[in-house]
Amino acid sequence: MFSSTLWHIEGCSRSSVLFLKSLKCAAFSLSHGHCSSSRTVTHPSSGQKSRLSVRCRSKPQRQVCKTILQHFDAQYSEELGEQWKSARGVLLNPHSWQYGVLLNRFSDLTNLEQGLRALGYTSLLPRVQPESQSHTAHIPLQCLIHRDPVRLPNQGHQPSWLKQYFLLNAASVLPVLALDVRDGENVLDLCAAPGGKSLAILQTATPRLLHCNEVDTHRHDWLLKTLESYVPTTLQHLLSLTRLDGRSVGDERPGAYDKVLVDAPCSNDRSWLYTPDTHQGDIWLKERAQLPLLQKQLLCSALAAVRPGGVVVYSTCTMSQAENQSVMEAVLASYQGMELLDLTQLIDSLSDHFGFAHLHPPLGHLVIPKKGQTWGPMYVCRLKRVY
């Protein structure tokens, strides 16, 4: 769909501003439901003018599943109160959703960030300081956001060429920042597909090992393609990709990792709301009741896999109390030798960008989307294994 823009992306080191202005026009058009956009740009070396055209097939507007919405209304009105009204308005209006642009430090980014900033993009992490006292190297994660619901086109996979950016819900970087990976550490991403958080980890440090695990075959293939598109072959020896049952990793590799991320399978509020039909919605709601058990098992496996003194971060992209605070309460009550770590410094540094909910009890932090700050949902909590 966007093949005509890739030539300009690759040439943006010499004419990024012209390219990005054209791209912004196309992105705004697409984000507001228009099916085409065209702009004249100049080739940086030859001076020839060419036409940048972005067209898409007309797609029917996504339909909300009434069964899911009714369930959300009942549950979240009770759990979130007035905050649900704001979140509901965002979830029901996909055209309002904002996207973060995670820059790939392994690709040629010459003038790209400067060009994006000229178009109104700002840094998500203006002055976030690493929380660890370690003296090992720490690389600032580069994630840019825009105040408007602009979405750049995804870059296509090209052999022997690394993509320059990864589009994501900007709240997705929170678990990675909470993990605070350092150079030389052994890191496990227990439920890694589609790979955005694994990629973000590699943007912040060069671990000795990054073990990316995904049990589902289709999602594992998706993960593999993501890493191939963003990570140079010279660093692929740092990666280990497996299809293990995440619930068994702790028993098979006890104490093997310094840091473990559990971005658990969950009832993703954004996607579940647009379930194709009522029958599928009923099936998903039945599955939702079973998710907390799986999430507890995955978190316990992660705690067994991390070394004494190591850190585990648990995250989901749902606002459901049963899948967030209740999971943490159950695990802390049954698993000995765990300490809940404070995330106040990180949360305070990002408070201007995200609307955090105050949780009772304060087991983790929850980003609830609202107008103008449509990031989330994203829940994050950090634990330390004491012994």
By the 8 A CB rule, do 260 and 188 touch? yes
Amino acid, res. 154 = N
Helix, coil or strand: residue 312: strand
Q: Is 191 annotated as a binding residue?
A: yes
Establish whether 371 is an annotated binding residue.
no
- 342 assigned to a ligand binding site: no
Tokens describing residue 332? 């802390």
CA 383 to CA 364: how far, in whole Å? 10
Q: Is 47 flagged in the annotation as binding?
A: no
- 197 annotated as belonging to a binding site for a ligand: yes
Helix axes 217-230, 196-204, angle to 10 degrees: 30
Ligand-binding annotation for 183, yes or no, is: no
Q: Is 52 helix (H, G, I), strand (E, B) or coil?
A: strand
**What residues are labeled active site?**
317
Cα dist from 305 to 51, 110, 300, whole Å = 54, 40, 9
First and final CA of the chain: distance in angstroms? 52
The answer to the question of whether 245 is labelled as a binding residue is yes
163 is in an annotated binding site: no
Say whether 60 counts as a known binding-site residue.
Answer: no
Q: How many CB atoms lie within 10 A of CB 55?
A: 15
What per-residue string of b and e applies to 96-107 under the rule 16 or more CB within 10 Å gives b? bbbbbbbbbbbb
> Residue 190: which residues within 8 A CB-CB, separation 6 or more?
213, 246, 249, 260, 261, 262, 263, 298, 301, 302, 305
Gap between the Cα atoms of 384 and 387, Å rounded: 9
Q: Is 196 annotated as belonging to a binding site?
A: yes
Annotated binding site for S-adenosyl-L-methionine: 191-197, 214, 245, 263
Residue positions forming the annotated binding site: 191-197, 214, 245, 263
